Amino acid sequence: MTVIPEVWGRTETLAHADALCHAYAEVFAPPPWSRDPTIAYHSFHQRLENDVERPGFRATVSISDGNILGFSTGWITQAPFPTSRSYPRVADKLGPDRVDNLLIGAFEVDEMAVRHAAHGKGLGRGLLAAITDAAPDGRAWLLTWDQAPDAVAFYRHIGWHEVPPLPGIRNEVVIFLSPKHPGA
């Protein structure tokens, strides 16, 4: 199955927010994420309404027969480095110098979701390639959770580079740099 991802901006993303949120809730309901689908739907909907306003926001979406098979969202990471969501754990793991050098001004892949029925068909790779193709100087990054071994293995398999933590720092986030990131 080859589905070329569509690239959406703010307007298209908001017009399809309901479908994106349903896909998100489906992907993040089963283990290891184990999110309540209703809570996942509503929390992602609220985040999405704010995220589309971030500088450089874009989404890539794979659609077949009118159904969203998978999507990714992201934007350019701004200075100062945010202090909400998982950002403090990223800052702790990397330290301020590496955050500034590797992440500020880079394209941040925030969400990556591929429905189970579409796994193993190259959609995830295609979504990431499409969303990061315009990353400034090839600089893109993402994070995942260390309790999601399939996600960690997928990013490694497609050539993303795990950033080692500072000595003695342990937390649940795993930070990856894109294959074209000069700091990889």
Cα(2)–Cα(170) distance, integer angstroms: 39
Alpha-carbon distances of 116 from 21, 63, 169, rounded to whole Å: 15, 14, 33
Average pLDDT over residues 44-69: 96
pLDDT of 46 > 90? The answer is yes
pLDDT for res 1: 54
- What is the dihedral angle through the alpha carbons of 157, 111, 117, 134, rounded to the nearest 10 degrees? -60
Secondary structure of 58-98 in HEC code, one letter for each residue: EEEEEEECCEEEEEEEEEECCCCCCCCCCHHHHHHHHCHHH
pLDDT of 148 > 80? The answer is yes
- Is the distance from CB of 104 to CB of 96 less than 8 angstroms? no
Mean pLDDT of the chain: 95
pLDDT of 14 > 70? The answer is yes
pLDDT for res 2: 60
- Local structure of residue 57 (DSSP, 8 states): -
Cα(67)–Cα(182) distance, integer angstroms: 36
Average pLDDT over residues 48-66: 96
Backbone dihedral region for residue 119 (phi beyond 0: left; psi -120 to 50: alpha; all else: beta)? beta
Backbone angles phi, psi at 78, to 5 degrees: -100, 155
Element containing residue 162 per DSSP (H, E): strand 161-162
Instruction: Of 25-39, 91-105, 149-163, give the lowest mean pLDDT range.
Output: 25-39
